[in-house]
Amino acid sequence: MRQMARSYREAGVNVEEARRAVELIGRAAAATSTPSVLAGVGGFGSLFRFDPTTHPDPVLVASTDGVGSKLQLAIALGRHGTIGVDLVNHCVNDIAVHGADPLFFLDYLAVGKLRAEAAAEIVSGIADACAAAGIALVGGETAELPDLYEADEYDLAGFIVGVVARADVIDGAQVRAGDLLLGLPSSGLHTNGYTLARRLFPEDEWRRAAPGLERTIGEELLEPHRSYLDEIRILRRAMRDAGGEPLAFAHITGGGWVENIPRTLPAGLGAEIESGSWHVPLIFSLIQERGDISDADMVRTFNLGIGLTCVVHPDFEAAALTALPEARRIGTIVPVERDAPRVAFV
């Protein structure tokens, strides 16, 4: 007969370990604090003083996301220090594509069994990425849920708020046929396609090297999601100096090329992509070969080495490529019929 728990700890929740985790997490969060943070980790709510004078007619831009099954690689390999970087950079990119400057970030960490040091390692990665983006980690939540997760399992989500002047919002409304599509390289899979990648490369292969790779499969797959915040800012400044503006940005995440690029374009327009106009990292070729995956499924699932796209008027292509030498012209905006695919590879 199962013994009845007589305390919260016997039921699987260690309040003392939670207190230690909050103390360790608080140290990491404190390193990201800005003068706008009036109260951060430790309170019931986080207090952030928003200064509306920094952006005329300010518009707040918010987003939330998780890391998905990339977590399972981090858990299996015992490498938790960069998974928080994935989380922050994904969220930063999602608001930066609208022209927003990030203000603050919150996280949610749910674990099967709370280990303060492991939780602190995860949140330290979050804090590092927040510091790199110049934003404050103002708070979050750590939940020990032994009835939902195995002891070593955890889930991670993030919440970000940014601001942009209304006149500076990038929404794709000015995109026209004949505009050019530029691409910036990804650092790998970022945070998408891992359910498929893990099935093709099972756990017993994650510590092995693959032909052509300079590191193990696991290291390649754990490469952190890249932030494009600085590149977006550089491009906007350069194009303004030249008399123009970026017309649309797309963060290539879940849904790959075919889902994300159309989100940034007016109705009746699509993108014609020039195959071979950029370098596709070897990891994507290995995935496609291992699974005998069609090209159509690859572009629907993975970023294929391009993590951010930008639409520019042809007159400003030179200014954009000079400002960002790693960018490549990868396509053109074209008219499309109502029911036709909005992304085509040629």
71 domain residue, yes or no = yes
Shared domain for 27 and 99, answered yes or no, is: yes
102 domain residue, yes or no = yes
Asked whether the predicted pLDDT for residue 195 surpasses 80, the reply is: yes
- The number of helices, as runs of H, and strands, as runs of E, in the chain is 11, 12
Shared domain for 136 and 247, answered yes or no, is: no
Shared domain for 121 and 245, answered yes or no, is: no
7 domain residue, yes or no = no
Shared domain for 77 and 154, answered yes or no, is: yes
Among the ranges given (20-29, 109-118, 267-276, 303-312), the one the predictor scored with the smallest mean pLDDT: 20-29
Shared domain for 194 and 255, answered yes or no, is: yes
Q: What is the CATH number of the domain that holds 205?
A: 3.90.650.10
CA distance 90 to 224: 10
Can you say whether residue 199 is alpha, beta or left, with left for phi > 0 and alpha for psi between -120 and 50 degrees? alpha
Residue pair 124/81 in contact (Cβ under 8 Å)? The answer is yes
pLDDT digits (tens, 9 = 90+) for 245-302: 999 999 999 999 999 999 999 999 999 999 999 999 999 999 999 999 999 999 999 9
Region 228-239: mean pLDDT is: 97
Shared domain for 94 and 195, answered yes or no, is: no
2 domain residue, yes or no = no
Residue 1's pLDDT is what? 47
Shared domain for 77 and 197, answered yes or no, is: no
Report the 10 Å Cβ neighbour count for 125.
Answer: 23
Burial class of 257 by CB neighbour count within 10 A (0 to 12, 13 to 18, 19+): buried
Shared domain for 35 and 92, answered yes or no, is: yes
Q: Which of 147, 168, 189 is the last residue of a domain?
A: 168
Shared domain for 251 and 195, answered yes or no, is: yes
Asked whether the predicted pLDDT for residue 221 surpasses 50, the reply is: yes
pLDDT digits (tens, 9 = 90+) for 128-141: 999 999 999 998 88
pLDDT digits (tens, 9 = 90+) for 55-100: 999 999 999 999 999 999 999 999 999 999 999 999 999 999 999 9
CA distance 193 to 297: 11
Shared domain for 82 and 115, answered yes or no, is: yes
Average pLDDT, the chain: 93
Q: pTM for the full model?
A: 0.94
- Find the domain containing 70 and state its range: 15-168
What is the side-by-side strand order in the sheet with 269-273? 248-251, 306-312, 180-185, 328-335, 269-273, 343-345
Region 12-31: mean pLDDT is: 75
Shared domain for 129 and 24, answered yes or no, is: yes
Q: Which of 145, 168, 191 is the last residue of a domain?
A: 168
Q: What is the CATH number of the domain that holds 96?
A: 3.30.1330.10
Shared domain for 97 and 72, answered yes or no, is: yes
Among candidate residues 168, 174, 134, 186, the one with its CA nearest the CA of residue 61: 168
Among candidate residues 224, 30, 37, 61, the one with its CA nearest the CA of residue 127: 30
Asked whether the predicted pLDDT for residue 18 surpasses 90, the reply is: no
Asked whether the predicted pLDDT for residue 320 surpasses 80, the reply is: yes
